[in-house]
Structure 1
Amino acid sequence: MICGIDEVGRGCIFGPVLSAAVIFKSKPNFLNELDDSKKLTKTKREYLSALILENAYYAFADISNEIIDKINIHNASLLAMQIAYQKLNIECNLVLVDGKFIPKIQAKQIRAIIKGDSIIDEIKAASIIAKVQRDKLMVEYDKIYPLYGLKKNKGYPTKEHKDAIKKHGILSLHRKSFQLI
């Protein structure tokens, strides 16, 4: 079994960093449609996410902005990947993670793959479901904090988001260790 792991929200200034770990139950017929979540439309991501969730074992883990501020985004991303894998509770022959750093995971083999979210099907799948999951969270936060445009900016440091911070202030879910304005 191969497990793919990726994270989303690393460059955000609001909310958690979120990771997903994915193991396909069998080889699904939609693999040729998978790609890095950033290269797919919202509609395509949501469509593929539903297929992935039906055809894979998966787990999510998120690390709060408070922890990010304490341990930094790099360490928080690795921790999210580690926890997502542990939550799967399935032994894999090979664990592939997106990027160049390896989280603290006990596995027979583990490799970091630069641009893995564009190359490896399991990492592509993890990228997609993680992005859809985090985007849904940002839509929910937008209902609570509508002045910050989270439904649209998904927590990223857009001009509108930074302008909202200048006008309305920093929220408890903003990452204080990041350049906010």
Structure 2
Amino acid sequence: MKPASIASIKSQLTNGELTQKQIEELYKDSRKGVQAILKRHEKQQEKQALLKQAFIKMNTYEKEAYRNGNHYIAGVDEVGRGPLAGPVVAAAVILPKDFQLLGINDSKKLSEVQRNEFSHYIKQHAIAYQISFIDNTIIDKINIYEASKQAMKEAISGLQPYPDHALIDAVPLEGLNCTYEAIIKGDAESVHIAAASVLAKVARDDWMKELHEKYPLYGFNSNMGYGTKEHLQAIETYGVTPYHRYSFAPLHKYRHNTLLN
């Protein structure tokens, strides 16, 4: 019998159509192309195994919350504390108990393509999610820490159903109508918080890209409002916009200046 073509073997491996016994038989195939495919397959399997292990580890807080009798668990995170312009954005998300998304992580550790793909998947599969924006004028009035907490609380309050328990990235939130845990570096420790991190990051980035269309001189579509060298130079050259945070140290001197419209 003529052996299967290398292209056919590659397709079958990729689509998971071969049994373990059939894969073991392929190691006897002397063709270099087949052995190269098997090597790549091994590496992919190893990568998948590591992703599964990481996902299981990131479900530790969730499992404990379920064991304690909680039904709806929310992950909560915010992005945009550090930028000189734009809002701080928080997301809260309730995921089903059997939710699985290998590779989910702190949004800062993901590529833009991954974040966009994951955000779409999370929105499709979430029981509920809510995203809250607190603009720069509020940030300047109450400070960025309080604005971050307000954004988180608004995101949680908007969830339907309301959660029984919240897993929050680092920030203690008093006054919730549910129990909660504030987890240091929670976006790398909890699937729910990581999912909230992704939703918030994508939402804020999209908002800043829209702002770039109105103010193209500041590079908001790439710096997302952070104080890059180019952004600071643009401020020196063109002044500030109504979306800058005048309470932040580099912009104090512009607080009473005429704003760029």
Q: TM-score, normalised by structure 1?
A: 0.95
Q: Distance in 2 between matches of 1:100 and 1:72?
A: 15
3-state SS of the aligned residue for 2:167?
Answer: strand
How big is the shift at 1:26? 4.2
Q: 2:107 aligns with which of 19, 37, 41?
A: 37
Question: 1:82 maps to which residue?
Answer: 153
2:168–2:186 Cα contact (<8 Å) kept: yes
Question: 2:237 maps to which residue?
Answer: 167
Q: Distance in 1 between matches of 2:95 and 2:119?
A: 13
1:26–1:55 Cα contact (<8 Å) kept: no
Q: How does 1:101-140 map to 2 (within 5 A)?
A: 101-107=172-178, 109-140=179-210
| Greater helix fraction, Structure 1 or Structure 2 | 2
Structure 2 unaligned segments of length 5 or more: list them.
Answer: 1-71, 252-261
Residue type at the aligned position of 1:165: I
3-state SS of the aligned residue for 2:99?
Answer: coil
Q: Distance in 2 between matches of 1:150 and 1:51?
A: 26
Q: Distance in 1 between matches of 2:118 and 2:174?
A: 26
2:218–2:230 Cα contact (<8 Å) kept: yes
Deviant stretches of 4+, over 6 Å: none
1:165–1:180 Cα contact (<8 Å) kept: no
Question: 1:19 maps to which residue?
Answer: 90
How big is the shift at 1:60? 0.6
Corresponding position: 1:150 with 2:220:
yes
Residue type at the aligned position of 1:105: L
1:142–1:151 Cα contact (<8 Å) kept: yes
How big is the shift at 1:94? 1.1
Q: 2:162 aligns with which of 80, 87, 91?
A: 91
Q: Percent identity?
A: 44
How big is the shift at 1:103? 4.7
2:138–2:147 Cα contact (<8 Å) kept: yes
Corresponding position: 1:61 with 2:128:
no
Highest relative contact order (Cα 8 Å, sep 6+), 1 or 2? 1
3-state SS of the aligned residue for 1:123?
Answer: helix
Q: Distance in 2 between matches of 1:21 and 1:5?
A: 4
Corresponding position: 1:70 with 2:141:
yes
RMSD: 1.1
Q: Distance in 2 between matches of 1:45 and 1:67?
A: 27
2:107–2:197 Cα contact (<8 Å) kept: yes
1:63–1:80 Cα contact (<8 Å) kept: yes
How big is the shift at 1:180? 2.8
How big is the shift at 1:24? 0.8
Which of structures 1 and 2 has the bigger CA Rg? 2
Question: 1:52 maps to which residue?
Answer: 122
2:153–2:173 Cα contact (<8 Å) kept: no
Residue type at the aligned position of 1:153: N
Q: Distance in 2 between matches of 1:48 and 1:80?
A: 22
Q: Distance in 2 between matches of 1:43 and 1:81?
A: 25
| Greater strand fraction, Structure 1 or Structure 2 | 1
1:8–1:131 Cα contact (<8 Å) kept: yes
How big is the shift at 1:59? 0.2
